[in-house]
Protein backbone atom coordinates (compact mmCIF):
# COMPACT_ATOMS: atom_id res chain seq x y z
CA UNK A 1 0.00 0.00 0.00
CA UNK A 2 1.15 3.51 -0.76
CA UNK A 3 0.12 6.07 1.84
CA UNK A 4 0.61 9.71 0.97
CA UNK A 5 0.25 11.96 4.01
CA UNK A 6 -0.11 15.74 3.96
CA UNK A 7 2.20 16.26 1.03
CA UNK A 8 2.79 19.85 -0.02
CA UNK A 9 5.06 21.25 -2.69
CA UNK A 10 5.46 24.72 -4.09
CA UNK A 11 7.53 26.21 -6.88
CA UNK A 12 8.56 29.85 -6.55
CA UNK A 13 6.05 30.27 -3.71
CA UNK A 14 3.23 28.96 -5.90
CA UNK A 15 1.59 25.86 -4.46
CA UNK A 16 1.67 22.83 -6.75
CA UNK A 17 0.37 20.48 -4.06
CA UNK A 18 -1.40 21.58 -0.93
CA UNK A 19 -1.69 19.10 1.93
CA UNK A 20 -2.56 16.13 -0.24
CA UNK A 21 -3.24 12.81 1.50
CA UNK A 22 -4.37 9.64 -0.21
CA UNK A 23 -4.11 5.89 0.09
CA UNK A 24 -3.54 3.44 -2.70
CA UNK A 25 -4.24 -0.14 -1.77
CA UNK A 26 -2.07 -2.95 -3.09
CA UNK A 27 -3.35 -4.69 -6.19
CA UNK A 28 -5.46 -1.70 -7.21
CA UNK A 29 -5.52 0.48 -10.25
CA UNK A 30 -5.74 4.00 -8.93
CA UNK A 31 -6.76 6.81 -11.26
CA UNK A 32 -5.21 10.15 -10.53
CA UNK A 33 -7.46 12.67 -12.20
CA UNK A 34 -7.57 16.39 -12.51
CA UNK A 35 -7.48 19.20 -15.03
CA UNK A 36 -4.16 20.44 -16.41
CA UNK A 37 -2.07 22.16 -13.76
CA UNK A 38 -3.88 20.45 -10.88
CA UNK A 39 -0.64 18.96 -9.51
CA UNK A 40 -0.84 15.37 -10.82
CA UNK A 41 2.63 15.34 -12.42
CA UNK A 42 4.15 16.96 -9.34
CA UNK A 43 2.64 14.26 -7.13
CA UNK A 44 3.82 11.54 -9.51
CA UNK A 45 7.34 12.98 -9.51
CA UNK A 46 7.35 13.05 -5.73
CA UNK A 47 6.23 9.41 -5.54
CA UNK A 48 9.00 8.56 -8.01
CA UNK A 49 11.50 10.52 -5.86
CA UNK A 50 12.43 12.71 -8.82
CA UNK A 51 11.63 15.73 -6.69
CA UNK A 52 11.12 16.02 -2.97
CA UNK A 53 8.06 17.25 -1.16
CA UNK A 54 8.39 20.40 0.92
CA UNK A 55 6.21 18.79 3.57
CA UNK A 56 4.53 15.49 4.26
CA UNK A 57 5.60 11.91 3.81
CA UNK A 58 5.05 8.86 1.68
CA UNK A 59 5.03 5.33 3.02
CA UNK A 60 5.20 2.14 1.00
CA UNK A 61 3.93 -0.92 2.85
CA UNK A 62 4.46 0.92 6.11
CA UNK A 63 8.02 2.02 5.36
CA UNK A 64 9.06 5.53 4.44
CA UNK A 65 9.90 5.92 0.78
CA UNK A 66 13.66 5.69 0.19
CA UNK A 67 16.04 5.09 -2.70
CA UNK A 68 15.77 1.37 -1.93
CA UNK A 69 12.27 1.52 -3.40
CA UNK A 70 13.52 2.60 -6.83
CA UNK A 71 13.70 -1.00 -8.03
CA UNK A 72 10.08 -1.57 -6.94
CA UNK A 73 8.69 1.27 -9.03
CA UNK A 74 8.15 1.59 -12.74
CA UNK A 75 7.46 4.96 -14.32
CA UNK A 76 6.05 6.07 -17.64
CA UNK A 77 6.28 9.88 -17.78
CA UNK A 78 3.83 12.01 -19.67
CA UNK A 79 6.53 13.49 -21.85
CA UNK A 80 8.23 10.43 -23.24
CA UNK A 81 12.00 10.36 -23.37
CA UNK A 82 14.43 7.85 -24.78
CA UNK A 83 18.01 8.11 -26.05
CA UNK A 84 17.40 8.52 -29.75
CA UNK A 85 20.80 7.25 -30.84
CA UNK A 86 20.48 3.96 -28.94
CA UNK A 87 18.99 0.80 -30.32
CA UNK A 88 15.79 -0.51 -28.72
CA UNK A 89 17.25 -3.47 -26.84
CA UNK A 90 20.28 -1.52 -25.53
CA UNK A 91 18.00 1.27 -24.31
CA UNK A 92 15.73 -1.16 -22.48
CA UNK A 93 18.63 -3.12 -20.98
CA UNK A 94 20.16 0.16 -19.78
CA UNK A 95 16.93 1.21 -18.05
CA UNK A 96 16.45 -2.25 -16.52
CA UNK A 97 20.02 -2.22 -15.18
CA UNK A 98 19.45 1.23 -13.68
CA UNK A 99 16.44 -0.27 -11.91
CA UNK A 100 18.65 -2.89 -10.31
CA UNK A 101 18.58 -5.85 -12.69
CA UNK A 102 21.76 -7.66 -13.70
CA UNK A 103 22.67 -7.36 -17.37
CA UNK A 104 21.75 -11.02 -17.92
CA UNK A 105 18.31 -10.70 -16.32
CA UNK A 106 17.73 -7.40 -18.06
CA UNK A 107 18.42 -9.01 -21.44
CA UNK A 108 16.06 -11.90 -20.70
CA UNK A 109 13.28 -9.56 -19.59
CA UNK A 110 13.75 -7.30 -22.61
CA UNK A 111 13.53 -10.26 -24.98
CA UNK A 112 10.41 -11.47 -23.17
CA UNK A 113 8.65 -8.11 -23.48
CA UNK A 114 9.69 -7.54 -27.08
CA UNK A 115 8.30 -10.95 -27.97
CA UNK A 116 5.15 -10.31 -25.95
CA UNK A 117 4.46 -7.11 -27.85
CA UNK A 118 5.48 -8.81 -31.09
CA UNK A 119 8.23 -6.30 -31.76
CA UNK A 120 11.35 -8.47 -31.51
CA UNK A 121 12.29 -7.39 -35.01
CA UNK A 122 12.81 -3.82 -33.74
CA UNK A 123 15.37 -4.95 -31.22
CA UNK A 124 18.35 -3.56 -33.16
CA UNK A 125 16.52 -0.54 -34.60
CA UNK A 126 17.60 2.89 -33.45
CA UNK A 127 14.99 4.71 -31.36
CA UNK A 128 15.15 7.67 -33.75
CA UNK A 129 13.98 5.42 -36.58
CA UNK A 130 10.76 4.43 -34.77
CA UNK A 131 7.37 6.03 -35.33
CA UNK A 132 5.69 7.77 -32.40
CA UNK A 133 3.46 4.80 -31.66
CA UNK A 134 6.37 2.37 -31.83
CA UNK A 135 8.42 4.55 -29.48
CA UNK A 136 5.46 4.63 -27.08
CA UNK A 137 5.48 0.84 -26.93
CA UNK A 138 9.21 0.85 -26.17
CA UNK A 139 8.63 3.49 -23.51
CA UNK A 140 5.92 1.35 -21.93
CA UNK A 141 8.26 -1.65 -21.87
CA UNK A 142 10.92 0.57 -20.27
CA UNK A 143 8.48 1.21 -17.41
CA UNK A 144 7.67 -2.46 -16.79
CA UNK A 145 10.81 -4.32 -17.90
CA UNK A 146 12.18 -4.76 -14.37
CA UNK A 147 8.86 -6.20 -13.15
CA UNK A 148 8.04 -3.48 -10.63
CA UNK A 149 5.51 -3.94 -7.85
CA UNK A 150 4.26 -0.39 -8.28
CA UNK A 151 3.67 1.09 -11.68
CA UNK A 152 3.11 4.80 -12.21
CA UNK A 153 1.80 5.77 -15.60
CA UNK A 154 1.27 9.34 -16.71
CA UNK A 155 -1.06 9.41 -19.72
CA UNK A 156 -0.15 5.87 -20.79
CA UNK A 157 -2.63 5.75 -23.66
CA UNK A 158 -1.71 8.95 -25.45
CA UNK A 159 -0.23 8.38 -28.89
CA UNK A 160 -1.58 4.84 -29.23
CA UNK A 161 -4.05 3.68 -31.86
CA UNK A 162 -7.21 1.84 -30.64
CA UNK A 163 -5.59 -1.56 -31.14
CA UNK A 164 -2.63 -0.65 -28.97
CA UNK A 165 -4.87 1.09 -26.42
CA UNK A 166 -6.61 -2.23 -26.07
CA UNK A 167 -3.27 -4.02 -25.79
CA UNK A 168 -2.05 -1.69 -23.04
CA UNK A 169 -5.33 -1.84 -21.13
CA UNK A 170 -5.37 -5.62 -21.17
CA UNK A 171 -1.71 -5.61 -20.08
CA UNK A 172 -2.62 -3.36 -17.15
CA UNK A 173 -5.50 -5.64 -16.21
CA UNK A 174 -3.15 -8.62 -16.32
CA UNK A 175 -0.67 -6.81 -14.07
CA UNK A 176 -3.44 -5.99 -11.64
CA UNK A 177 -4.40 -9.66 -11.62
CA UNK A 178 -0.76 -10.43 -10.72
CA UNK A 179 -1.17 -8.17 -7.69
CA UNK A 180 0.69 -5.13 -8.97
CA UNK A 181 -0.38 -1.69 -7.86
CA UNK A 182 -0.89 0.80 -10.65
CA UNK A 183 -1.28 4.56 -10.45
CA UNK A 184 -2.70 5.98 -13.58
CA UNK A 185 -2.91 9.63 -14.48
CA UNK A 186 -5.06 10.16 -17.51
CA UNK A 187 -7.60 12.37 -19.20
CA UNK A 188 -9.09 9.35 -20.91
CA UNK A 189 -12.20 8.89 -18.73
CA UNK A 190 -13.41 5.88 -20.65
CA UNK A 191 -10.31 3.98 -19.63
CA UNK A 192 -10.76 5.16 -16.04
CA UNK A 193 -14.26 3.68 -16.03
CA UNK A 194 -12.94 0.52 -17.59
CA UNK A 195 -9.98 -0.29 -15.42
CA UNK A 196 -9.71 1.94 -12.34
CA UNK A 197 -10.84 0.70 -8.96
CA UNK A 198 -10.42 3.97 -7.19
CA UNK A 199 -9.77 7.54 -8.22
CA UNK A 200 -8.46 10.70 -6.61
CA UNK A 201 -9.40 14.01 -8.13
CA UNK A 202 -6.92 16.85 -7.81
CA UNK A 203 -7.98 20.40 -8.48
CA UNK A 204 -5.86 23.50 -7.99
CA UNK A 205 -3.24 21.59 -5.98
CA UNK A 206 -5.78 20.04 -3.58
CA UNK A 207 -7.34 16.62 -3.45
CA UNK A 208 -11.05 17.32 -3.70
CA UNK A 209 -12.39 13.79 -3.77
CA UNK A 210 -11.17 10.21 -3.41
CA UNK A 211 -13.43 7.22 -3.86
CA UNK A 212 -14.14 4.12 -5.92
CA UNK A 213 -15.28 4.68 -9.49
CA UNK A 214 -18.61 3.05 -8.77
CA UNK A 215 -19.33 5.19 -5.71
CA UNK A 216 -18.37 8.37 -7.47
CA UNK A 217 -20.77 7.59 -10.27
CA UNK A 218 -23.49 6.60 -7.83
CA UNK A 219 -23.05 9.75 -5.83
CA UNK A 220 -23.60 11.76 -8.98
CA UNK A 221 -26.68 9.77 -10.09
CA UNK A 222 -29.48 11.90 -11.50
CA UNK A 223 -32.40 9.46 -11.49
CA UNK A 224 -32.14 8.64 -15.17
CA UNK A 225 -33.12 5.26 -16.59
CA UNK A 226 -32.63 3.56 -19.92
CA UNK A 227 -35.65 1.60 -21.06
CA UNK A 228 -35.83 -0.75 -24.05
CA UNK A 229 -39.25 -1.89 -25.19
CA UNK A 230 -41.53 -2.72 -28.10
CA UNK A 231 -45.00 -1.24 -28.49
CA UNK A 232 -46.22 2.22 -29.29
CA UNK A 233 -45.12 5.58 -27.94
CA UNK A 234 -48.62 6.71 -26.93
CA UNK A 235 -48.93 3.77 -24.55
CA UNK A 236 -45.52 4.71 -23.16
CA UNK A 237 -46.50 8.35 -22.63
CA UNK A 238 -49.61 7.24 -20.77
CA UNK A 239 -47.57 4.91 -18.63
CA UNK A 240 -45.03 7.58 -17.66
CA UNK A 241 -47.76 10.07 -16.85
CA UNK A 242 -46.35 13.05 -14.99
CA UNK A 243 -44.06 11.06 -12.74
CA UNK A 244 -41.24 10.66 -15.24
CA UNK A 245 -39.85 12.99 -17.87
CA UNK A 246 -38.92 11.60 -21.27
CA UNK A 247 -35.43 12.88 -22.18
CA UNK A 248 -34.42 10.96 -25.28
CA UNK A 249 -36.00 8.56 -27.74
CA UNK A 250 -34.19 6.27 -30.08
CA UNK A 251 -36.01 4.11 -32.64
CA UNK A 252 -34.38 0.70 -32.96
CA UNK A 253 -36.63 -0.62 -35.78
CA UNK A 254 -39.33 -3.31 -35.82
CA UNK A 255 -41.43 -1.14 -33.51
CA UNK A 256 -38.65 -1.28 -30.88
CA UNK A 257 -37.43 1.77 -28.94
CA UNK A 258 -34.83 2.87 -26.45
CA UNK A 259 -35.73 5.80 -24.26
CA UNK A 260 -34.11 7.71 -21.46
CA UNK A 261 -36.39 8.96 -18.74
CA UNK A 262 -35.73 11.00 -15.69
CA UNK A 263 -37.59 10.58 -12.42
CA UNK A 264 -39.48 13.47 -10.90
CA UNK A 265 -39.71 14.00 -7.16
CA UNK A 266 -39.27 10.92 -5.01
CA UNK A 267 -40.09 8.38 -7.72
CA UNK A 268 -37.95 5.27 -7.71
CA UNK A 269 -36.79 2.53 -10.04
CA UNK A 270 -39.62 0.34 -8.72
CA UNK A 271 -42.21 3.05 -9.51
CA UNK A 272 -40.99 3.22 -13.07
CA UNK A 273 -41.07 -0.56 -13.47
CA UNK A 274 -44.59 -0.88 -12.08
CA UNK A 275 -45.82 2.03 -14.22
CA UNK A 276 -44.54 0.43 -17.41
CA UNK A 277 -45.39 -3.15 -16.64
CA UNK A 278 -48.30 -4.43 -18.78
CA UNK A 279 -48.56 -1.23 -20.85
CA UNK A 280 -45.64 -1.91 -23.14
CA UNK A 281 -43.54 -4.97 -23.84
CA UNK A 282 -40.43 -4.34 -21.72
CA UNK A 283 -37.07 -5.63 -22.84
CA UNK A 284 -34.86 -4.01 -20.18
CA UNK A 285 -34.69 -1.23 -17.61
CA UNK A 286 -31.43 0.01 -16.17
CA UNK A 287 -30.39 3.02 -14.21
CA UNK A 288 -28.15 5.28 -16.22
CA UNK A 289 -25.17 6.32 -14.07
CA UNK A 290 -23.20 9.36 -15.16
CA UNK A 291 -20.00 8.68 -17.09
CA UNK A 292 -16.70 9.47 -15.43
CA UNK A 293 -16.44 12.35 -17.86
CA UNK A 294 -19.67 13.79 -16.46
CA UNK A 295 -18.62 13.04 -12.88
CA UNK A 296 -15.29 14.78 -13.50
CA UNK A 297 -16.90 17.85 -15.06
CA UNK A 298 -19.59 17.96 -12.38
CA UNK A 299 -17.10 17.82 -9.52
CA UNK A 300 -14.86 20.46 -11.04
CA UNK A 301 -17.84 22.74 -11.70
CA UNK A 302 -19.02 22.29 -8.11
CA UNK A 303 -15.54 23.08 -6.82
CA UNK A 304 -15.33 26.20 -8.99
CA UNK A 305 -18.68 27.35 -7.67
CA UNK A 306 -17.51 26.80 -4.12
CA UNK A 307 -14.35 28.82 -4.79
CA UNK A 308 -16.36 31.66 -6.33
CA UNK A 309 -18.57 31.82 -3.26
Partner 1 sequence: MRNSWLIASREFMERWNSRSYKIMLILGPLLILLFTYFLLKFGDQGKNSLRVLIADPANLFDNKITSHPTKAIDYKFYTTYLDYAEFRDGNRFKEFDAFVEINEKILQNKTVKLFYRESPSLDIKMKIKFELERRTEERLIAEFTDLSIDRFRQLKQPLNVDFINVYDPKNQADNNRGWVGIFFGSLILFFIGLFGMTILRSTSKDKSNRVVEVILASVRSSDLMLGKIIGIGLSALVQLIIWAIFVVIGLVVFKEFIFTDIFDASNYEGIQYAADIKNDILLNASSSRYNAFIDLIFHRINYGVILPVFFIFFLVSYFFYAAFFMAIGATSGSESDGQQFVIPIFCLLLLSFYAGFVAMYYPDSFLATFFAYFPFTAAMTVLVNVSMATSASGLVQVLFVLLILLVHAFIFLKIAARLVKNGILNSGHRLNLSTIWLWLKKS
- Residues within the interface to partner 1 (CB under 8 A): 12, 45, 48-51, 67, 70, 73, 75, 77, 79-86, 94-95, 97-99, 142
Looking at the Cβ atoms of 94 and 112, the one nearer to partner 1 is: 94
Angle at CA 178, nearest 5°, toward 214 and 1?
65
* Cα separations in angstroms, 269 against 213, 220, 230, 247, 262: 22, 16, 19, 16, 10
Looking at the Cβ atoms of 75 and 225, the one nearer to partner 1 is: 75
Q: How far is the CB of 29 from partner 1 (least distance, A)?
A: 20
Looking at the Cβ atoms of 103 and 222, the one nearer to partner 1 is: 103
* Distance in angstroms (rounded) separating the CA atoms of residues 49 and 51: 5
Q: How far is the CB of 75 from partner 1 (least distance, A)?
A: 4
Q: How far is the CB of 42 from partner 1 (least distance, A)?
A: 10
Looking at the Cβ atoms of 77 and 159, the one nearer to partner 1 is: 77
Closest to 141 in 3D by CA, of 177, 164, 67, 66: 164
Which residues are CB-contacts of 191 (< 8 A; sequence separation ≥ 6)? 157, 165, 169, 184
- Assess contact for 285 and 257: CB atoms under 8 A: no
* Distance in angstroms (rounded) separating the CA atoms of residues 205 and 19: 8
Q: How far is the CB of 308 from partner 1 (least distance, A)?
A: 32
Q: How far is the CB of 81 from partner 1 (least distance, A)?
A: 3
* Distance in angstroms (rounded) separating the CA atoms of residues 281 and 275: 12
Looking at the Cβ atoms of 125 and 291, the one nearer to partner 1 is: 125
Widest pairwise Cα distance in the chain: 74
Amino acid sequence: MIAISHVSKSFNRKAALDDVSLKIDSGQIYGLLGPNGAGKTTLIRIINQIIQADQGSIQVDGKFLTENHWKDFGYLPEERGLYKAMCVSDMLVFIACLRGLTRHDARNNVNHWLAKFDISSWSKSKIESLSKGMAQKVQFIAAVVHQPTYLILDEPLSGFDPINVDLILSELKAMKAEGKTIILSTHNMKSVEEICDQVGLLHKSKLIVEDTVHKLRENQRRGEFVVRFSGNMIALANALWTEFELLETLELGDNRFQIIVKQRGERSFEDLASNLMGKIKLESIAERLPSMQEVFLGLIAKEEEKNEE
